[in-house]
Amino acid sequence: MPLTPFHFGPTGLLGLPFRRHLDLAVFFLANVVIDVEPLLLLVLPFNWPLHGFVHSYLIGGIAGGLWGWHAWRLRTYFERFQAFAKIPYQPNRRRMVVSGIAGAWTHVFVDSFMHADMRPFWPARGNPLLHLLTNREIYLVCVFCTILLALWYLRYFLRYAHKRRRRF
């Protein structure tokens, strides 16, 4: 699922219980970082699997950690966006690195059910999660998770807005 929002629903629901310990912007965007690999392989003339090394827990975790480390430079943009979204935000480099790794791992996990060219436990061969769900079931789960995440955020946003109104 290169660069699609399908990952955001399951990733968001997996990250929601840990939101106090994660940088949600870095966590979500780690999904996009992981899909840079297939995007490049679609454009460049390399002859290896679309979901190659970065779509493994080892290399994906390293890529996510590097993303989190470098995301520190973007923290002012994250602060502005999260202020707009009414989400409290206190950037912390360690939290950003952990969030990048966790976001990358959730991306690898979701993709493991669908892509035959993946080796999530690289250097080990194979993909034990492949086809445990059909593609249709995966898409339905992703859409359902996105709806649940949107409902949670709407509830959070309305509660936050209600509390602000009462203070004035």
Would the CA dihedral through 12, 15, 18, 20 be positive or negative?
Answer: negative
Q: Do residues 132 and 141 make contact, with C-beta atoms less than 8 angstroms apart?
A: no
User: CB-based contacts of 129: which residues, under 8 Å, 6+ apart?
Assistant: 109, 112, 113, 120
In this prediction, residue 68 carries a pLDDT of: 95
- pLDDT tens-place string over residues 55-103: 999 999 999 999 999 999 998 888 888 777 777 778 889 999 999 999 9
In this prediction, residue 162 has a pLDDT band, given cuts at 50, 70 and 90, of low
Q: Which two tokens stand for residue 115?
A: 């892509």
CB-based burial of residue 107 (10 Å sphere; 0-12 exposed, 13-18 middle, 19+ buried)?
buried
* H-helix segments, 44-92: 57-71, 75-84
In this prediction, residue 168 has a pLDDT band, given cuts at 50, 70 and 90, of very low
Cα(96)–Cα(110) distance, integer angstroms: 21
Query: How many distinct structural domains can be found in the chain?
Result: 1
Q: Do residues 30 and 67 make contact, with C-beta atoms less than 8 angstroms apart?
A: yes
Q: How many CB atoms lie within 10 A of CB 19?
A: 14
What is the domain extent for residue 146? 5-167
In this prediction, residue 164 carries a pLDDT of: 54
In this prediction, residue 167 carries a pLDDT of: 47
- pLDDT tens-place string over residues 95-135: 999 999 999 999 999 899 988 889 999 989 999 999 899 98
Mean pLDDT of the chain: 85
